[in-house]
Structure formats: structure tokens, C-alpha cells
Amino acid sequence: LITDPACHHQHIVMDAVHLQQITCVTLYLLFLVMMQPSLIFVMLLATLLTEGLAGTATTTITPKGPSKEESKKSAKLPPCAACRMLTDTFKKGLERTSRSKFEGGDAAWEEKKMGSYKTSEVRLVEIQENLCSEVDRAQKQCQGLAEDHERLLEEWWHEGQAESLHDWLCIGKLAVCCQAHYYGPDCVPCTGGAEKPCAGHGKCKGDGTRKGNGECQCDDGYNSTLCDSCATGYYESYRDATKLLCSKCYRACNGPCSGAGPKTCAACKDGWRMDTEFGCVDVDECHAMADACTGNQFCINSDGSFSCLRCDKSCDGCDGDGPDMCDNCANSFTYDQDKGMCID
């Protein structure tokens, strides 16, 4: 308007435009103010209606919130795992479509037909149509990713598929994963080196992803930053320049030990005592403690412990199980000399 050659006086035109704008805004505001009560009413009604409907829907179909199946499908995986899920389902698609559809024809024709099908648009479409169909957990996320990265999947398909899809997409294009035994934003080697992280006895936090700190979470029995020493309660049963094997101390050991067997314990657990000749040996509580069991019970010793069991119902106190082990007979029972037990 301003540059319209028909306009001689720019400022007049400006004023006209201004005026027009002001009028328009005023009218719009006026419209809004007038419409507001009914607008609010309509919106309120709509909200109530949808909420009411949603409410009845959820109460009638799923009374206890989303079903297990549903929450499984809506689960969310971290970025690298999600990308792997996508490339895995794509791989499944490749497998699904790898068998010849032209079986039964003559070999040469089939070969030719299959050869062109292998890298064809038709096959890609078939794969893409069924992406995520077999995915159980986080299926919704899978479908979202498939949609978001449709272009990239096509690009990989048409660019000759030289690299594995996972490496190309998840490590390269999307940069959410790293090669195995590398971690973090810059994909640096895990603690202990990418060759054998955590000395082969632990998991590197963030292994294969752009996350984590690369620290080792040692397997049971291993300890230290590198998992290259034995944890308390374990001893080195084998060690050479490259290999370490830690084994559990004897079950009666309390804390560390210097090797296998009861004699190597630094200390014994409760219920065991240190014997100068045999190391940790069981304490027979039933004999060591006169009142190990009280009342109508008898004592059974076990390794490192003991238990109290109920006497026979004919007994009032006993030394073992059965009516022939009574100390005294219970009320309404009398001792039978011949049988050697309490009888009714």
C-alpha cells in the first residue's frame, strides 16, 4: 500500500492504514467482549462433556487406570535403547522379506527378480509398513521414531546399506549410541579400556550409549574402580597377568579370608567358633546352652544355628520328637512301662 505508485502522500496513506487497523482491533475487541460469556459457556460445556465422556469411558473400560498391556506399550526407553529398538524391528522386517516371493519359478528368472527386489522400493515399503508390529514394550515410542526417521531409513536404504543400520543411524546420524565399550557424549573408552572394560568383571555405566560416566559396576565378588580385586568375603582363587578369579570364602567366614576352607577365615560368623586346628567349626547350641529351647520344645542343632521344635502332644517337655521321648507326660496322658511312652 505504502509503495503503491497511486499514492502521493505517504503519511496520509499511513494514517489511513493506521485508522483501518485501529478500527479493526477495536471491532475485534468489541466482538470478543460481547462473545465472551457465550464463548466461555460453550468452552465450559465442551470441557464438561469431554471430561464426562472420558470419565465414563475410563471407568467402564479400565476401572483401575491404564491396563498392564497399555502401560507396557507406552513405556519409554532411553534414546540409545529406543534407536536400537527401531533398528532391530527394521532388521526383523529385512528377515521377513528375505524369503523369495517368486519361489517355484525357474531359477534364473527368480534370481534376477529377487536380486532387484532386495534393494527395491517395494521391499522398503513392505518393511516400513510393518515396523514395530512385533515390538512389545514401548511400541508407541517405536512407532513415533519410525515416523520421525522415515526419511533417514530411506536414505540408508538407498545409499547402499554399507554400514549396519544401527551404526549408521544410532551412532552416526542420531548420535544417541556409541560402539560397544565406549560411552558418553564423545564416545570415549570405558574404564579399563574398550578392549576389556572393568577387567571383564563388571559393567561400564553407559556402555554403548551417549550417557553414563563409564564407571564400573563390578560383578559379585569383585571390587575396586577397575573390578580387578576381590570383594570382601572373596579370595583370589586364580591370578595371572591378564586374569583374575575371585571365589567365595568358606560359608562360616565372617568377613575376609585368605583362601578356601574353614581355616582361612579371619573371623567366624555367629554360631561358629574359631578352632585352632580346624578353623571355624559349628557351635552345638543344644549342648552349649542348657536353655536353648524352653517350654514344650526340643532342640535341633544345625550348621551355624539351631532350632526348637514342638514336643509330641503326649509330652510335657521332651528330648526329641515322638511320644517315646517325653521327660514327663502331658495332662490326661500316663506313662506305659511296656510301651515306654505316654499314652492316652
Ligand X SMILES: *[C@@H]1O[C@H](CO)[C@@H](O)[C@H](O)[C@H]1NC(C)=O
In angstroms, give the least distance from the CB of 223 to ligand X. 4
Please give the residue ranges that form the binding site for ligand X (CB under 6 A): 223, 231-232
Q: What minimum distance in Å lies between the beta carbon of 236 and ligand X?
A: 13
Which residues are bridge partners to 341 per DSSP? 336
Q: Residue 305 half-sphere exposure, CB side, CA atoms within 13 Å?
A: 3
Our CB check for ligand X shows the closer of 254 and 307 to be: 254
Q: Which is nearer to ligand X, 233 or 261 (CB)?
A: 233
Instruction: List Cα–Cα distances, 233 to 95, 216, 260, 281, 282, in angstroms.
Output: 48, 20, 11, 17, 19
Nearer to ligand X, 236 or 327 (CB): 236
Q: Which of 156, 152, 133, 153 lies closest to 143 in space, CA to CA?
A: 133
Question: Which cell goes with 39?
Answer: 464463548
Instruction: Give the CB-nearest residue to ligand X.
Output: 231
- Smallest gap from residue 231 Cβ to ligand X (A): 3
d(CA 272, CA 254): 10
Q: Which is nearer to ligand X, 23 or 258 (CB)?
A: 258
Would you say 311 and 326 are in contact if contact means Cβ atoms under 8 Å apart? yes
Which residue number, 223 or 314, has a Cβ lying nearer to ligand X?
A: 223
117: left (phi over 0), alpha (psi -120 to 50) or beta: alpha
Least separation in angstroms between residue 229's CB and ligand X is 8
Q: Least separation, in Å, of the C-beta of 218 and ligand X? A: 8
Among positive and negative, which fits the CA dihedral 62, 68, 69, 72? positive
